[in-house]
Each structure stands twice: as C-alpha cells, then as structure tokens.
Amino acid sequence: MGPLNGYTVLELAGIGPAPMGGMILADMGAEVIRIDRAGNAPGLHMKDVSTRGKKSVALNLKDPAGIETLLRMVENADVIIDPFRPGVCEKLGIGPDVCMARNPKIVFARMTGWGQEGPLAKAAGHDINYISITGALYAIGRKGEKPVAPLNLVGDMGGGGMLLVNGVLAALLEAANSGKGQVVDAAMVDGAAQLMWMFHGFQAIGMWDADQRGSNLLDGGAHFYDTYECADGEYISIGSIEPQFYALLKEKAGLSEDEFGDQNNPAKWPELKQKIADVFRQKTQAQWCELMEGTDVCFAPVLNFIDAPKHPANVARNTYIEVDGLTQPAPAPRFSRTSSEVRNAGSDAGADTLTVLADMGFAEQELEELQTSGAIS
C-alpha cells in the first residue's frame, strides 16, 4: 500500500517538477488528486508518466463555485501542491492563508524556479536558466567549448521535484507533532545550488578549478573518469578514481605502467586521455562489457533510455515497469514492508471528478448543479 497510504494530496495541474513530485508521492501510496482544468481535451495525460497513480478532478478555477469546490477539497486533504508563479494562487483566492483557514494542518507546497521572493521571483524561466546562476551549468561541458545543458535533470527534477518531495515529507512529519501546517517554498534555483555542495568543498581545498570546465576530476577532465567511443561507434563509461580501481583498469585494458602510472597528475590528463581513447576504439562495446562489466573497474556501457530497460542488471532489479504498454521507471526508493506501487496509468482530465467529490461528502444534487454551471467537468 505504500508508506503514505492514508494521506491525500491535491496537485494543481502544472508541468515538470510539480507533477514529478506528485508522482513520487502517489507511488508511495498517497491519494494524489490532480486538479485539471475543466474542458481539457480527452487523452491529454494518457502518455504522461507523471500522471500515474493519480486521480483527476476537473475544476473551473475562474468560477467562484469551482474555487469553493477546491476549498472544500482542501478540508479533506493533507497537502496541496502549487506549481504556479508567486501570487497566482492568491489572485485565484486559494492562497495559503485561505487554505489554512479551511484546514490549519494543510501543507501548502509551492514549486517555482526562482522562489517566492527576490528580484527574479515573478520572471519566467526554465531549468537551463535556474542552473545558470548556481554554477551548475557553467561546470558542465568540454574544455574550451560552451556549457552543455544536462537535459532538464538538474534544475527541474533533481533541484525541483526531489526537493519538493523532501519538503512535503518533512512538513508532514512536523504537522503530525504540532497539528499545524505550513508553507513549503521549494525553488529550483535553491535545489540546484544544493546539488553543487561537493564542488564548493573541492574548490576550497584546491581540488577543483571553477573557472575551467572539462579540466577537473569529475567533469571529464581526468582520463579515468569519462566516456569513450568503441570500435562499433557505441560508448562506455569509466570511473576508476580510487587507486585499486585504477590498477584494475590498467590490467583489464592493457595499459602500461610507464605510460599510465602517474594517475593524479592533471598536467598529463590530456595526453593520457588521447591514448586511452585509442585503446578503447580497438574493441566493441560488447567486448569491453565482457571484459570489464561487473568488475571493480567502475565500468558501464552508455545506453539510451530505450535500451536501458533491457540491460540485465535493470531487468534483474525490475528498475523499469510497463503500465498500459508504456515502459517507465519503477517507483523508488524501495521499502521492505510498505511497498510502493503504480496503481493505475494516467487518467483523462476529469475522469474521477464525480467519484472523488462524492467520497469527500458532496451531495448528488450539488454535483449536478456544479456540472450544469460548468464549475466541474
């Protein structure tokens, strides 16, 4: 049933990190009710992995009756997820003060890029912008080349969705003791900054040069921590940082001690990188897998996300699942007693409106009136 069984989360429909956070909470057993716009086209969410395990209620939040319906739902909820820019919920009449007046224990979790305050708070932005001002984007890329966007994993997902879940869980724990809810201000720029914690420490002890991308230990500068092309055009990854792992790399790849013995001399890394690249081009990805995979070299083939579910390690661990024919990552983390699960695929917008509201105490006549007025659909 999941460790969050019994908790109810209202997720105002948004994109990116907020739906991801709702998905994780749903995987963990919470009843997550997505508040969609009334009148959304059918099938809109059916291939959206983030809608899995959720129910959908379609409300017209421009209609006072739709707002009142949401506030009555708040009375029955533990969490509300706000994915909008600062001030939008207040303008709609569903801000934290209003919601907490209806339910003092509600956790009002706000997910934004720049945060609820500051000079950029009301400006538009995307992942690439949020990670730009934290130093994360500057650090990613090849030496002498421009920064490379790491998909939208660092700002939206790691710095956003994961941070949101972390805040929600902490606030729920606190509310269980105090009986009081609170506002969680989860900002992607804050989360991305947190993800950079290690590099601040490295810089302070002289292990990193923040001005030089592609020249450091973990950014592809070191010959023993990078990706390499194979004879068949596929790629492998090497992460042989520790001396014992590096020694095994030299043994498995046939690298001479004379050439590759001085592992941690950055001045030699560019030369050694070229030499080891030549070595890896001599065998196919499959041949290198046969030689190194499963050893302490710290090795893995570089797979695209279509092939990743087929890898034997992922198959054995059930890292991926299939829901209504759509392959997707399985719930994580795993719990020994209260297992997470995906209860259903994504629902059409409004597919659960009547049943959810009836379960929350709305009378049949009320529901008919709300439908007729267009406040719900």
* Active site residues per annotation: 126, 156
Report helix angle 285-292 to 243-253, nearest 10.
130
d(CA 28, CA 24): 6
Give the pair of three-digit tokens for residue 251: 């043994």
Coil, strand or helix: which one is 40? Answer: coil
Helices marked H in the chain — which ranges? 17-27, 64-74, 88-92, 96-102, 127-130, 162-178, 188-195, 197-204, 243-253, 257-260, 269-280, 285-292, 312-317, 353-359, 364-373
Are 220 and 273 in contact, with CB atoms under 8 Å apart?
no
Q: Which two tokens stand for residue 81?
A: 């997820």
CA distance 111 to 134: 18
Q: How far apart are CA 68 and CA 62, in angstroms?
A: 11
* H/E segment holding residue 56: strand 54-59
Peptide bond into 333 cis (omega under 30): yes
